[in-house]
């Protein structure tokens, strides 16, 4: 296909030397690649320069991700049509440009496409969702200190289209610390106390840091905001509150909030699985199996970022098999156990459970 649009890929980077070559190769279908180096002490800057990337040293003080991305965005020549924002630990599958140009219409301002955020040990995507970081030049700006989003600044009506054939894969450096996220999330919540997305992310971050009471308080605030209307995210806040109460040994409160999560978004598998996991923890085999059974009726995985690997991997089948074993439903136990092994064939514990079921069937 003839190139009809001028496309620029842009990114921020710091100490990403291990990813540079793969990233540049992946992004090379663009007409221009621009990187803002925010203070690398390794060979990131040099390697990018050697690969003919337009790389610039930028300093953002105090640090925040939106200012850094906006700085690089401002370096893109005005005559470029489409901007593609990625990070150096990400990689496009080949052919992305042609798919972009096919999906892009005259009135398109932004494109949504597939993002594989994480992979399981077999290389299969475990968390996948749609992102929208391909956008028209000159009419967008980044906002929020962290977990930044694009804010539309154009005069005409924003038009978001889809390019589901585009796939961006994420291969993060697990050794990198993300300690700056919490203070930046706190800053974002302080800057805009009514921003439901920021409040939800902050509550989740407190949960990750095991700050149970702060997490509960913040997530309840999220649920009480008038703008917090997206049921998937509300359901997630309720699930996180339940996790906090579980860790505080307040099991009845945990059950209460998981029930609310189920009522909020009964079309999602995640709250059913978390309820099953809770009842399984206390050997409530009948209840745990009931919630697994209900969860498995849901086959459509959400295309948003709110999906959990354990709801779609071998976990639910493993729990089902053990519950059926204790309920003396041995045929069903073996059925679920076999599926669990198919999904996680190297898991020794699953194989031991399978053998236990077979031995009981023979007795």
pLDDT in tens, 22-47: 999 999 999 999 999 999 999 999 99
| Predicted pLDDT of residue 327 | 97
Average pLDDT, rounded, for the chain: 96
Q: Vertex 24, ends 21 and 28: CA angle to 5°?
A: 140
| Cβ pair 19, 89 in contact under 8 A | yes
Main-chain phi, psi angles of 112, to 5 degrees: -100, 140
Element of type H or E holding 12: strand 7-13
Distance CA 22, CA 331 (A): 48
Predicted pLDDT of residue 3: 57
- 270 and 235 Cβ atoms separated by less than 8 Å: yes
* Beta-ladder partners of 35: 11, 55
pLDDT confidence bin for 174, thresholds 50/70/90: confident
Q: What's the pLDDT at 236? A: 98
pLDDT tier for residue 195 given thresholds of 50, 70 and 90: very high
- Where does CATH 1.25.40.10 sit in the chain? 181-275
Radius of gyration of the chain (CA): 23
Q: Which two tokens stand for residue 363?
A: 């007795």
Q: What is the model's pLDDT at position 177?
A: 76
Encoded tokens for 96: 């992305």
pLDDT (average), residues 329-336: 98
Confidence of residue 175 (pLDDT cuts 50, 70, 90): confident
Backbone CA torsion sign across 287, 289, 290, 296? positive
- As a CATH number, domain 7-170 is 3.90.550.10
> In the structure, what pLDDT confidence band is assigned to residue 248 with cuts at 50, 70 and 90?
very high
Q: Which of 248, 9, 28 lies closest to 137, judged by CA? A: 9
Confidence at residue 1, expressed as pLDDT on a 0 to 100 scale: 39
Q: Are 36 and 70 in contact (CB under 8 A)?
A: no
pTM: 0.93
For residue 42, what pLDDT is reported? Answer: 97
Distance (Å, rounded) from C-alpha 268 to C-alpha 302? 7
CATH topology (fold) of 181-275:
1.25.40
Domain boundaries for CATH 3.90.550.10 within the chain: 7-170
**Model pLDDT, residue 180:** 87
Q: What is the C-alpha separation between 254 and 257, in angstroms, rounded?
A: 5
Q: What is the mean pLDDT of residues 328-342?
A: 98
């Amino acid at each position: 296909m003839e190139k009809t649009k001028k496309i620029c890929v842009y990114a921020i980077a710091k100490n990403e030397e291990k990813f540079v070559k793969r990233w540049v190769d992946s992004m090379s279908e663009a007409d221009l690649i621009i990187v803002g180096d925010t203070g690398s002490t390794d060979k990131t800057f040099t390697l990018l320069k050697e690969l003919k990337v337009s790389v610039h040293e930028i300093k953002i003080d105090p640090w925040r991700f939106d200012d850094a991305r906006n700085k690089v965005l401002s370096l893109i020549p005005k005559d470029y049509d489409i901007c593609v924002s990625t990070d150096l630990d990400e990689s496009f599958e080949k052919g992305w440009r042609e798919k972009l140009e096919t999906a892009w219409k005259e009135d398109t301002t932004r494109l949504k496409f597939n993002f594989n955020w994480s992979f399981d040990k077999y290389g299969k995507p475990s968390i996948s969702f749609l992102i929208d970081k391909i956008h028209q030049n000159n009419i967008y700006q980044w906002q929020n200190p962290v977990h930044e989003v694009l804010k539309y600044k154009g005069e005409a009506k924003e038009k978001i289209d889809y390019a589901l054939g585009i796939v961006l894969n994420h291969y993060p450096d697990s050794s990198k610390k993300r300690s700056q996220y919490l203070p930046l999330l706190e800053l974002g919540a302080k800057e805009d106390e009514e921003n439901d997305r920021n409040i939800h992310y902050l509550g989740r971050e407190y949960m990750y840091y095991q700050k149970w009471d702060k997490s509960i308080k913040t997530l309840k605030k999220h649920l009480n905001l008038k703008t917090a209307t997206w049921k998937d995210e509300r359901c997630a806040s309720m699930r996180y509150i339940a996790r906090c109460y579980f860790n505080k040994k307040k099991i009845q409160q945990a059950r209460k909030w998981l029930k609310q999560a189920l009522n909020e978004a009964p079309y999602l598998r995640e709250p059913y699985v978390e309820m099953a996991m809770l009842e399984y923890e206390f050997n409530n085999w009948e209840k745990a199996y009931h919630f697994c059974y209900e969860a498995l009726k849901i086959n459509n995985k959400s295309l948003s970022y709110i999906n959990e690997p354990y709801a779609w991997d071998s976990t639910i089948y493993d729990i089902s098999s053990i519950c059926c074993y204790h309920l003396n439903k041995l045929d069903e136990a073996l059925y679920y156990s076999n599926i669990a092994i198919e999904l996680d064939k190297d898991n020794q514990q699953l194989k031991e459970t399978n053998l236990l079921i077979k031995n009981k069937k023979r007795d």
